[in-house]
Amino acid sequence: MSIRLRFHGAARTVTGSCYLLEAGSQQLLIDCGMFQGSKTERELNYRPFPFDAGRVNAMILTHAHIDHSGLIPKLVKAGFGGRIHCTPPTVDLCSIMLPDSGYIQEMEVRQLNERRRKRGEEEVDPIYTLEDATKALESFTNTAYEMWFEPVPGIRARFWNAGHLLGSASVEIEVARDGGKPLRLLFSGDIGPDNKMLEQDPEAPVGVDFVICESTYGGRDRFERSEAARRALLAAEVNDAAKRKGALLIPSFAVERTQEIVTDLVALMEQGAVPRANIFIDSPLASKATRIFTKHARELQNGEALSRAFNSDIVRSTESVEDSKALARFTGFRIIVAASGMCEAGRIRHHLKNHLWQPSTTVLLAGFQAQGSLGSILENGAKTVTIMGEVISVKAAIRRIEDYSGHADGPELVQWVKERLPISRSIFLTHGEEQAQIDLEADLHTLDIARDCIVRPRLDDVYELSGEACAFLAAETRPRIDPAMVARLDSSNELADIVLDIQEAVSRAADEKAKAVLLRRIRRALSADGSGGGDRRRPPISGVSRRSRGWDEG
């Protein structure tokens, strides 16, 4: 019987987790996540799946984060009729996260279409709607950790606590084979770090045939800190922001990252380690998630501290858009925690638009920033950015803290793999950008793992697992995107940079004559390139980009 594994996401990039396991006539999908980052990668969310959703028999979901679960409503809409297996907390979190994702897409596409109509362009549709997401939840079923279940005939699986997020799991899978031992696979999911505030240390079985291992922070050593050291680092950032007497903006994932940061902020204020200030949680999703975390408090480390923090009178949640907009009227030092963590969508973009140009503002990035995301662009020192079609000067202090990451760092990943040995066949490195995977591969060789046993698959690669050694199969279809553009800045990023450079150069010109000379030079350069830039009937440069089917235009 042929056993094949297809890598349809999180291949040399961090987002879009999606693996298709084929065993004879059975098809089992592991994760179905949304791509984030550059426009090129985000457009994959709108394209058809590279498989027939109607032929997939069942799905296993490692955890609720949108880069693992975010395309499930699209999957169901495309014809998937099987069950989606995950842990009980993951069901609870998806019940709020997927409808929220559908709502945001509807809202942002509505705003986008208003702009497209004014330009005479064709309207676009959201990937899925709130109604689609709500319907998809009917397919979910839950199973506790370390309990075997059979998602499809001939394949059984069980969950192990991955220590990454409430309900997160590594997935052990056994595929029955005629006349022999079952083939054993372990999908790591996202592996949590040691000493995570709310989660236990990760667990998983040993002695499997294949490991599919995440590599987000491959090659990076964040140096393990105690709770006291973590809070001291946060206190230093908060005190520095307070001296500026402006807003401290914390772009944060609504689920778990927000709960961790707010718990520590309240504790620091109670201890007098930082000035007492209002903490605004500007995310209805985060408020709903907090209620779920409180429900599962007994399953969490420091669950009691979390519950106490969110009952504090200095923590305020905003629900309506009007409440969110009203935050712009506040002055002085205050803390605003808002999604999304990579600044790609949600209310944080409005706050960045309102505050980035103010030197009194501090932006504290508290998580991984995918290449091409607004968070990554800010982290890399951009002086100007475009948010919702408006050019914003970056005068705010951009800071970063890594101690709230939900991912194991390089040494912790190596230790996790070491504890899984022996691994009889291959390790596939996924869910990481290329350099992180190269660095992790080099570190894994110190465990005496043979070089040819470590594989770094590309997007849509297919491997045959049933032979004596796993075999790469030639791609059956053309790549959905150029592999060289995965986890890279694309032409959309470059165009935005050029437009900003032109606007800055024109604004610096001494007078109207100098500005006219500069613009004529630009037009001549476009003409020389064969683009017809000398034709005054063409749209201005800022209108050249034809962003197709994306809700993040501008």
Token duo for residue 505: 């150069």
pLDDT of residue 117: 92
CATH number for the region 227-400 comes to: 3.40.50.10890
109, 129 contact by CB (below 8 A): no
113, 123 contact by CB (below 8 A): yes
- CB atoms inside a 10 Å sphere around CB 412: 20
Amino acid identity of residue 274, one-letter, is V
pLDDT of residue 540: 35
Q: Is the pLDDT of residue 40 over 50?
A: yes
Of 47-56, 135-144, 287-296, 336-345, where does mean pLDDT reach its minimum? 336-345
Which residues sit opposite 183 in a β-bridge? 175
| pLDDT band per the 50, 70, 90 thresholds, residue 525 | confident
Amino acid identity of residue 162, one-letter, is A
428: nearest Cα among 470, 368, 392: 470
Secondary structure string (H, E, C) spanning 158-212: EEEECCCCCCCEEEEEEEEECCEEEEEEEECCCCCCCCCCCCCCCCCCCCCCEEE
| pLDDT band per the 50, 70, 90 thresholds, residue 476 | low
When pLDDT is averaged across residues 308-331 and rounded to a whole number, the result is: 92
Of 29-43, 179-193, 352-366, where does mean pLDDT reach its minimum? 29-43
Of 36-45, 50-59, 233-242, 544-553, where does mean pLDDT reach its minimum? 544-553
Q: Is the pLDDT of residue 498 over 90?
A: no
113, 538 contact by CB (below 8 A): no
CATH T-level fold of 3-221+406-485: Metallo-beta-lactamase; Chain A (3.60.15)
pLDDT of residue 405: 85
User: Would you kindly state where each structural domain of the chain is located, as residue ranges?
Assistant: 3-221+406-485, 227-400, 494-542
pLDDT in tens, 386-436: 888 788 999 999 999 988 888 999 999 999 999 999 999 999 999 999 999
DSSP string, 363-432: EEE-S---TTSHHHHHHTT-SEEEETTEEEE--SEEEE--TT-SS-BHHHHHHHHHTT---SSEEEEESS
| pLDDT band per the 50, 70, 90 thresholds, residue 552 | very low
346: nearest Cα among 487, 248, 252, 247: 252
165, 61 contact by CB (below 8 A): no
Token duo for residue 360: 């009194």
pLDDT of residue 489: 57
Peptide bond into 422 cis (omega under 30): yes
CA distance 67 to 86: 15
pLDDT of residue 491: 59
CA distance 343 to 266: 24
**Average model confidence (pLDDT) for the chain?**
88
Q: What percent of the chain has pLDDT over 70?
A: 91
Q: Rounded to whole angstroms, what are the CA distances from 181 to 26, 126, 158, 177, 184?
A: 18, 46, 17, 6, 9
Q: Is the pLDDT of residue 469 over 80?
A: no
pLDDT of residue 120: 92
| pLDDT band per the 50, 70, 90 thresholds, residue 138 | very high
490, 40 contact by CB (below 8 A): yes
Helix (H) or strand (E) holding 28: strand 26-30
Of 213-227, 260-274, 352-366, 532-546, where does mean pLDDT reach its minimum? 532-546
When pLDDT is averaged across residues 343-357 and rounded to a whole number, the result is: 90
pLDDT of residue 520: 84
pLDDT of residue 470: 73
154: nearest Cα among 264, 219, 57: 57
pLDDT of residue 492: 62
pLDDT in tens, 267-319: 999 999 999 999 999 988 999 999 999 999 888 988 999 999 999 999 999 98
3-state SS assignment for residue 8: coil
- The number of angstroms, rounded, from the C-alpha of 164 to the middle of its chain's C-alpha atoms is 13
pLDDT of residue 415: 96
Token duo for residue 553: 């235009």
> Is the pLDDT higher at 205 or at 107?
205
pLDDT of residue 539: 36
CA distance 123 to 151: 40
Q: Is the pLDDT of residue 548 over 50?
A: no
pLDDT in tens, 143-172: 999 999 999 999 999 999 999 999 999 999
**Backbone φ, ψ for residue 415 (5° rounding):** -65, -40
Its pTM stands at 0.82
Q: Is the pLDDT of residue 549 over 60?
A: no
Token pair 């995918």: residue: 370
pLDDT of residue 448: 86
pLDDT in tens, 200-222: 999 999 999 999 999 999 999 98
pLDDT of residue 536: 38
Q: Rounded to whole angstroms, what are the CA distances from 204 to 187, 198, 207?
A: 10, 19, 10
Q: Rounded to whole angstroms, what are the CA distances from 487 to 10, 254, 413, 518?
A: 10, 23, 21, 34
pLDDT in tens, 500-520: 677 777 777 778 887 788 888
3-state SS assignment for residue 30: strand
When pLDDT is averaged across residues 72-88 and rounded to a whole number, the result is: 98
Q: Rounded to whole angstroms, what are the CA distances from 519 to 65, 534, 540?
A: 46, 10, 11
pLDDT of residue 483: 67
pLDDT in tens, 92-103: 999 999 999 999
> Is the pLDDT higher at 339 or at 438?
438
Question: Where do the DSSP E strands lie in 203-320?
Answer: 210-214, 247-251, 279-281, 315-317
Q: What percent of the chain has pLDDT over 90?
A: 68
The sheet that has 140-142: what strands, in order across it? 140-142, 83-86, 58-60, 26-30, 19-23, 3-7, 462-464, 471-473
| pLDDT band per the 50, 70, 90 thresholds, residue 373 | confident
Question: Where do the DSSP E strands lie in 454-541?
Answer: 454-455, 462-464, 471-473
CA distance 393 to 375: 15
CA distance 231 to 204: 30
CA distance 365 to 357: 17
